[in-house]
Amino acid sequence: MTVAKLAYLTSPAPDRYLLNIQIFGSDELLRFEIAECHLANIVCDGASFALRKHHRVPETNSQESANVRTDNRAQ
């Protein structure tokens, strides 16, 4: 597997999207034109992966959550 030193998206013109990658140990910048559907997948999946790791909400038991809501309403 090759590891990217640098990876980013650019849009040089309307409806054109480029994925730019530089590999560790290389000075060459590789550019790949990608379709809009690929761009959407990268953005959606990337956001999901990033948020899943850093902003997880702790899971609670459904019954426990219901009891907490009931207790709060009674006060």
Chain segment 3-54, per-residue pLDDT in tens: 999 999 999 999 999 999 999 999 999 999 999 999 999 999 999 888 887 6
- Residue 43 belongs to domain spanning: 4-74
Q: How far apart are CA 71 and CA 50, in angstroms?
A: 35
Q: Which helix (H) or strand (E) holds 51?
A: helix 36-54
pLDDT value at position 50? 85
pLDDT value at position 52? 83
Structural domain count of the chain: 1
Cβ neighbours around 65 below 10 Å, total:
11
* pLDDT over 80 (residue 61): no
* pLDDT over 70 (residue 57): no
